Structure 1
């Protein structure tokens, strides 16, 4: 069995997830955002296997639960995929099926895992129905939501799930560009905490020279502010690799400001996916992020 480092996600994310699994602290409701569809599915199945595994090192890959999970035949790992039913959206009827099934105790494992593919294609009614389930789930129920973008997800849903950002498709970004984007994101996050706009505008100007840098920087920046939200909510689990900057952001900015910035970054990512003009986006980015940070 391949380990989490063989899935294809960033090393920092793999190490953090590995730590959560080893310490038995995987959240009951997880959102996997970004990356390729295949990458999200690989990680979902790995986490589902970890949830049902009864070996000492999870997932052990050897117990009956792991073997059934790997073969796709575990009765307590349920995949909800609207495309299988020929649907383009994730309808409320499918959420209701999940809800009805969730209150039936697991067949074999201690946990019952629901993988929701294309979760970002839920309408408001479907999301509200899901919200009630993940707010007060059965003790054994676990939920893994896969989505390309979370821009269309309700804030109430986002506040109930633990977000793991897979970034852009790894095959599309070189290691050199990924490293540069991560470093740029850290500089931007630190600059936004400064009393003046000069340093932030100076760094943003680099996107004008290298427009390919803008897109991979956004998820890295978002992860830093996501960590700040978690820290502010009295937890010290960080994923970005820039915990020091996240702690500074948590101490200097309000929760509303941090949440607003993560939502605005979502909007920029969504605009890029719609092939919006990058020059205009970059120009708007500086003003929007500063105003969001200080709630103007």
Structure 2
């Protein structure tokens, strides 16, 4: 008796079509090469048609394989949407809301507010994800994102702009008392620079430092954005921080003002599929209100420092 193809068979088919071999497909799916090859053969037998040409250097789609590829991709999208919906409903029923953001935002802004939220709504469990990987809200990898982006949001994402995602150079009061407050590029050539931040942030930040002739002044490097904050507050040198975080800390002094000519915005996002789930809506509204209050409470008078082209968020 011939078994009907299952979604898992089509999943292997897509992996082989994209990777070009059963070895690479097996690695991406965390199954053995022999299992991947066996699943492809079983799918071909069930359909009664050859989907791949077996070659010395890998697998190549046949004409029949090319014909079914778009249908398999449609099946994949539907299966992923079903899985994401099930995960979202599971979290909603269990009262769990997962938030993803940059670690410096998580530590300085969200954690104190979420302590207050827990006092008000102890029945809702919060998962705070500070990974550098961009979590896919559409796939249900998180429910809410506090995210910096210069591009239009992906289809299905809904949210509100918080403000421009401005970053500027800061130092601690202790550091300024010892070595002075740098106010321009020439001053910075005499100061210690703290580098790092990880991922996209360091790519932008290091490029700016190199352009300004300051990369050789980096005396300490941190792997994450929270490390940058720690190093600056410890008085180790001058480094870049998000303005929304740093201007609320009385121990930090802004050295140079960021440029206003960039497209990056700080967004509070969720997905249209879960935006009306009561727990997600409650957390989203709470965070938006706290973010806007924080901005109002920390908005400084117009600074006297001259703007310079500083890097912005990752």
The TM-score normalised by the length of structure 1 is 0.25
Structure whose CA Rg is larger: 2
Q: Which structure has greater helix proportion?
A: 1
**Higher RCO, Cα 8 Å, sep 6+:** 2
Q: Which structure has greater strand proportion?
A: 2
